[in-house]
Amino acid sequence: MTDTLQLAGKSFDSRLIIGTGKYRSFEEMKAAHTASGAEMVTVAVNRVPLDRKTESFLDHLDPAMQILPNTAGCYDAEHAIRTARLAREALETDWVKLEVIGDQTTLLPDNEQTLEAARVLIKEGFIVLPYFTDDLIMAKKLIEAGCPAVMPLAAPIGSGMGVQNPSNLRIMREQLPDATIIVDAGVGVPSDAAVAMELGADAILMNTAIAEAGNPGQMATAMKLAVEAGRLAYLSGRMPKRLYASASSPIQGAIK
Amino acid sequence: MKIKINGEIKELEKALSLSQILELFSLPAQRVAVELNRRVVRKQDWSTTIVEDDDRIEVVHFVGGG
């Protein structure tokens, strides 16, 4: 059985999308990217420093990777829209990870501005993948606006806290069975990724959990396996939870 | 004339095109995008777009991010 991730007309074998930030070296980043099996990586849009020679960061990425530019660092819809337009111009891609931050300390998303920006960008032909708070109603609005997937957070960006509100993800999955849900931000360890996938997420986007690991390449492998394990578990259907024990061995016939 | 490029105020002796500005400040021309007064200027228009006094230019590229 092929179980690919379908996203805006593209098919991905990997359900892990990873970032390119915070790596200690390009070598470590490349090793992690390869080990993760990811087919899509995020990049940020930033001012080019003046008066000095700069090399292109993109040269350090596997050319086979789909590049997903983000709008990180934007605090209102207007900045996010401008950033997306610049990214499209430079990369010739309509894909954008829409991120409108509401607050510097928590980096929690400003859902209202995110929705506003999503509507404008979708009209302009962008494929908008929005990062937002794990809220069902917001997810519905973003899908209605035309987002091909929604990307609820598990926990604040770079916190590594894991899925803070599993019920919200479960509700989102149950209420939006046809939506593509990508859990973005907050994963710290492979078990977090597995939990999100077991809850029915279609994919996971992570950066810090791999980049800040002691051995990013090895952690990338662990994340790949966790995403696969979680996905298989979700498709298999978990056993019901019970308050009391249920014997696995026959109760009748034991010697007395 | 004065322009603001990537947040820095710079003095220009004469009016220049966006292509010339990129060259002047050692900015790469590949895989970058240019915004003039909050509007993207397509690459094919850089050489014919002349910068005026008080213009604000943003030149961006890609860096690592999540």
Rounded to whole angstroms, how far apart are CA atoms A23 and A131? Answer: 22
List residues of A with catalytic annotation: 97
pLDDT digits (tens, 9 = 90+) for A103-157: 999 999 999 999 999 999 999 999 999 999 999 999 999 999 999 999 999 999 9
Using the beta-carbon criterion (under 8 Å), do A20 and B31 form an inter-chain contact? no
Backbone angles phi, psi at A215, to 5 degrees: -125, 90
Query: Measured between CB atoms, which of A46, A50, A86 is closest to B35?
Result: A86
Indicate the pLDDT class of residue A1, thresholds 50, 70 and 90. Answer: low
* pLDDT of the residue at A111: 97
Q: Which residues are bridge partners to A10 per DSSP?
A: A7
Contact list, A49 vs chain B (CB under 8 Å): 6
Distance CA A175, CA A168 (A): 10
pLDDT (tens digit per residue) in A183-228: 999 999 999 999 999 999 999 999 999 999 999 999 999 999 999 9
A74, pLDDT greater than 70 = yes
Q: Do B6 and A23 touch (CB under 8 A)?
A: no
Query: A80 with A70: CB under 8 angstroms?
Result: no
* Whole-structure pTM value: 0.93
CA–CA dist A141, A161 (Å, integer): 27
Can you give the three-state secondary structure of A87-106, one letter per residue?
A: HHHHHCCCEEEECCECCCCC
Distance between CA atoms of A135 and A149, rounded to whole angstroms? 14
CA gap A63, A189 in Å, rounded: 28
Q: How many CA atoms lie within 13 A of A125 on its CB side?
A: 6
| Helices A136-145 + A166-175 axis angle, to 10 | 40
Cα separation, B43 vs A63, in Å, equals: 22
Q: What is the pLDDT of residues B21-52, one digit of tens each?
A: 999 999 998 999 999 999 999 999 999 999 99
